Amino acid sequence: MTTITVDLPPDIYRELQEQAQRSGKPPELVVREWLAERLAAPQALSSDRERAREALRAAGLRDSGRVRTRGRQAAERNYP
């Protein structure tokens, strides 16, 4: 296993300690699990805007960079 050192601001370190205590795990394990989960995600979306775009795309309301309105969807159904 490889070791990495990360400098954390006091407030983040305090939150990490509290989370570790609540879960009954050592802080190192909490961080390791969080990193594994985060890195395993298919696509890390870095902004709220990107998450919104992905949600619209998944709902079929966004394609080719343009938002599809109900009127446009109806028009596309009537005139393929």
User: pLDDT digit string (tens) for 3-59?
Assistant: 989 999 999 999 999 999 999 999 999 999 998 887 877 665 567 888 788 888 888
Per-residue confidence (pLDDT) for residue 38, from 0 to 100: 79
37 and 1 inside one domain: yes
31 and 56 inside one domain: no
Q: Which domain holds residue 66?
A: 47-80
Q: Are the C-beta atoms of residues 20 and 27 closer than 8 Å to each other?
A: yes
**Cα(48)–Cα(25) distance, integer angstroms:** 31
pTM for the whole structure: 0.51
* Rounded (10°) angle between helices 27-40 and 10-23: 100
32 and 59 inside one domain: no
25 and 60 inside one domain: no
55 and 74 inside one domain: yes
35 and 54 inside one domain: no
Span 54-70, mean pLDDT?
Answer: 69
Per-residue confidence (pLDDT) for residue 64, from 0 to 100: 53
**Cα(57)–Cα(43) distance, integer angstroms:** 14
Q: Name the token pair of 70.
A: 């109900």
Number of domains in the chain: 2
Per-residue confidence (pLDDT) for residue 40, from 0 to 100: 79
Quick check: 75 pLDDT over 80?
no
